[in-house]
Amino acid sequence: MSHFTVGVIVDKLSDEEVHKKLAPYQENNMKDCPKEYLEFNSVTEEYKEQYETGTRTMVRLKDRSLVSTCDDRFKKEIKDEKHPLGLTTYEVPEDLIKVEVPYKVLYPTFEDYMKEHCGYELDKETNDYGYWENPNRKWDWYEIGGRWNKILLVKDSVDIEKLGGPSWGNIESEKKEVPEGYKWVNACKLKDLELDKMIEGSYKKNIRYWELVVENQKPENKDEEEIVKWNFYKPEYYTERYSSKEEYAEYQAMFSLYALVDNEGWHAKGEMEWFGFDDSTGDSEKEFINWFNKELRKPENQDKYLVVVDCHI
């Protein structure tokens, strides 16, 4: 499971418009992805082979009846120093015999096997066994703002509708320091986005970040100690992606999100995977950051809105 930032460019500012842009990339985990984005994946052939050739390990009792190896009579609860919360295991007595029983013996029909053993019902629309999936899935839920609540800077005088809010662990973002005459928002017209003001001082900060995590310079204060503490990458991660400290600082100082959705579709640094890791490379990241900033500055986009979304997959 991962959280990542997505920018959504819309012509009109509303929750509904944001959802329309994101809908083609919704995972069908809650079975509510619009049908127009789904494809059916059949599993019939795969499971037919298992049904025809596969077996299940069973236990033959003294009366010659068969039960599962996980039958309640074999259950054993362990609670000790290693397992203070308890652990459930199943132990089959040595005087009982384990046997391999063909699925075709346990389930008279393929339909019985699919329903009782595999948990599949026949899909009514396709008259087949399988599942509906969005081949273009990128997220399973999202919220506007969330962990990245209020990261866009506009002048105080800009009148903008409030969208979204902080996630439960990011309440402090509502009170974060703001330059005089400005305010932080989750959405704004691109022409109102104060890009240069947003990244003031970022280059210098990223130079120092490199010195701490790549060059292993000694932290000079508690903030720098926290930077080193929460860096999960080895120095090679940075040196393989960037040719120098200066190049790293240049790109990291530029404003960017992980992905952007516009009228042309979904654009991203890479494919997001579990626990915040992805398959992006130094080249794909730099290419995206350059493209992203050009899109934000295009004259034809200036009256459109940029909305920051916290996506989860």
**CA 53 distance to own-chain centroid:** 37
pLDDT in tens, 156-191: 999 999 999 999 999 999 999 999 999 999 999 999
C-alpha torsion angle, residues 142, 145, 147, 149 (rounded to 10) = 180
For residues 176 and 181, give the distance between their C-alpha atoms in angstroms, rounded to a whole number: 14
pTM for this entry: 0.85
Q: What is the pLDDT of residue 279?
A: 95
Closest CA to 233 of 185, 268, 282, 270: 282
Q: What is the pLDDT of residue 265?
A: 97
For residues 191 and 267, give the distance between their C-alpha atoms in angstroms, rounded to a whole number: 21
DSSP classification of residue 182: E
Beta bridge partner(s), residue 201: none
Instruction: Give me the amino acid identity at 12.
Output: K
Q: What is the pLDDT of residue 3?
A: 96
Q: What is the pLDDT of residue 86?
A: 86
pLDDT in tens, 246-294: 999 999 999 999 999 999 999 999 999 988 889 999 999 999 999 999 9
Q: What is the pLDDT of residue 149?
A: 97
Q: What is the pLDDT of residue 84?
A: 85
Q: What is the pLDDT of residue 1?
A: 85
| Residue-wise DSSP of 41-109 | EE-HHHHHHHHHH-EEEEEE-TTS-EEETT-GGGEEEE-SSS-TT-EEEE---TTSEEEEEEHHHH-SS
User: What are the residue ranges in the chain where pLDDT is below 70?
Assistant: none
